[in-house]
């Protein structure tokens, strides 16, 4: 638990920077699982600062984003491609060919094979070294909504009403908000060597309590993380305020 989101984000950035550098010294790629949304924004700002001011290089980083709305054009204002480019990728020296984000432009019948190939790429690299997560108000991780199974694969999912309502201001109304998304499955998230979930603010306090102290249940997918061997929830005072 940190004083505020700023100090929490900096601590996560420090851990990521150290991992990138350890991997670089071993001449190994660093496989990062990345999230979008408001929670990791401070983290990405700090990583950009570490690159610009302290020479942190991302040349050995290979990233896999958790999710993308479907359908979604990459240059659309709300695409996660645009989000990642604007907040991180355009400001560091990561190689464009090393940045992976689920493709929101596929034809429906292409999605299943595409999702299998996304997982195969991760497996061929030896899995995710460090996975960054946010958490939805309903306990979703990635877009694995309530009811997602612990062994769920990367797939096209229907977004919960509550998730669409949370996103609707970005899309200027619920009617324009996508109903579906492509998400990394729970299984690949759970297979990551290390998981860091970030949550800020009072609005996340109930779901943080359920995820950390409640039963492990597919109604709250973040509760599956109780069974991960190397996970940390990085919280501020407000999001942690209901923990006993």
The binder of ligand F6R chosen from 7, 26, 38, 169 (CB under 6 A): 38
User: What is the Cα Rg of the chain in Å?
Assistant: 17
In whole angstroms, how far apart are CA 131 and each of 12, 169, 196, 239?
Answer: 11, 27, 6, 20
Question: CB burial class (10 A; 0-12, 13-18, 19+) of residue 108?
Answer: exposed
User: Of the two residues 35 and 208, which places its CB atom closer to ligand F6R in the complex?
Assistant: 35
Phi-psi region of 99 (alpha: psi -120 to 50; beta: other; left: phi over 0): beta
Q: Does residue 36 belong to the site contacting ligand F6R (CB under 6 A)?
A: yes
Q: Does residue 60 belong to the site contacting ligand F6R (CB under 6 A)?
A: no
Q: Are 50 and 13 in contact (CB under 8 A)?
A: yes
Distance between CA atoms of 129 and 31, rounded to whole angstroms?
A: 5
Catalytic residue among 68, 119, 145, 238: 145
The binder of ligand F6R chosen from 13, 43, 56, 66 (CB under 6 A): 66
Active-site residue flag, 145? yes
The binder of ligand F6R chosen from 5, 9, 39, 79 (CB under 6 A): 39
Q: Does residue 176 belong to the site contacting ligand F6R (CB under 6 A)?
A: no
Distance between CA atoms of 46 and 48, rounded to whole angstroms?
A: 5
Distance between CA atoms of 94 and 242, rounded to whole angstroms?
A: 39
Task: State the nearest-atom distance from the C-beta of 141 to ligand F6R, in Å.
Answer: 6
Q: Which of the 8 DSSP states describes residue 128? A: -
Task: State the nearest-atom distance from the C-beta of 26 to ligand F6R, in Å.
Answer: 29
First to last CA, the chain: 13
The binder of ligand F6R chosen from 8, 33, 42, 142 (CB under 6 A): 142
Structure tokens at 108: 């429906």
What is the sign of the dihedral through the CA atoms of 42, 18, 61 and 126?
Answer: negative
Task: State the nearest-atom distance from the C-beta of 140 to ligand F6R, in Å.
Answer: 5
User: Of the two residues 58 and 80, which places its CB atom closer to ligand F6R in the complex?
Assistant: 80
Q: Are 54 and 46 in contact (CB under 8 A)?
A: no
User: Of the two residues 60 and 104, which places its CB atom closer to ligand F6R in the complex?
Assistant: 104
Residue 31 φ then ψ, to 5°: -100, 110
Q: Does residue 37 belong to the site contacting ligand F6R (CB under 6 A)?
A: yes
What mask of x and - would describe binding to ligand F6R in positions 201 to 230, judged by CB under 6 A?
A: ------------------------------
Q: Does residue 136 belong to the site contacting ligand F6R (CB under 6 A)?
A: yes
Q: Does residue 74 belong to the site contacting ligand F6R (CB under 6 A)?
A: no
- How big is the site for ligand F6R, counted in residues (CB under 6 A)? 14
Structure tokens at 60: 């050995």
The binder of ligand F6R chosen from 8, 33, 104, 134 (CB under 6 A): 134
- Contacts to ligand F6R by CB under 6 A: 35-39, 66-67, 134-136, 140-143
- Catalytic positions, written as ranges: 145
């Amino acid at each position: 638990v940190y004083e505020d989101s700023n100090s929490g984000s900096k601590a996560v950035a420090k851990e990521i920077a150290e991992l990138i550098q350890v991997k670089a010294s071993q001449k190994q790629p660093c496989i990062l699982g990345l999230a979008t949304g408001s929670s990791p924004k401070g983290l990405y700002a700090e990583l950009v600062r570490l690159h610009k001011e302290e020479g942190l290089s991302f040349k050995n980083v290979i990233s896999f984003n958790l999710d993308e709305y479907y359908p979604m054009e990459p240059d659309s204002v709300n695409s996660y491609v645009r989000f990642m480019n604007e907040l991180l990728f355009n400001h560091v020296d990561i190689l464009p060919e090393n940045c992976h984000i689920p493709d929101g432009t596929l034809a429906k019948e292409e999605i299943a094979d595409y999702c299998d190939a996304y997982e195969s790429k991760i497996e061929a690299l030896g899995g995710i070294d460090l996975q960054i997560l946010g958490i939805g108000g309903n306990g979703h991780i990635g877009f694995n909504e309530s009811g997602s199974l612990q062994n769920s694969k990367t797939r096209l999912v229907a977004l919960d009403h509550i998730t669409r309502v949370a996103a609707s201001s970005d899309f200027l109304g619920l009617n324009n908000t996508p109903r579906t998304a492509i998400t990394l499955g729970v299984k690949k998230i759970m297979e990551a060597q290390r998981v860091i979930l970030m949550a800020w603010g009072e609005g996340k306090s109930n779901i943080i309590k359920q995820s950390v102290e409640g039963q492990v249940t597919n109604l709250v997918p973040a509760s599956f993380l109780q069974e991960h061997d190397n996970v940390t929830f990085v919280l501020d005072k407000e999001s942690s305020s209901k923990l006993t």
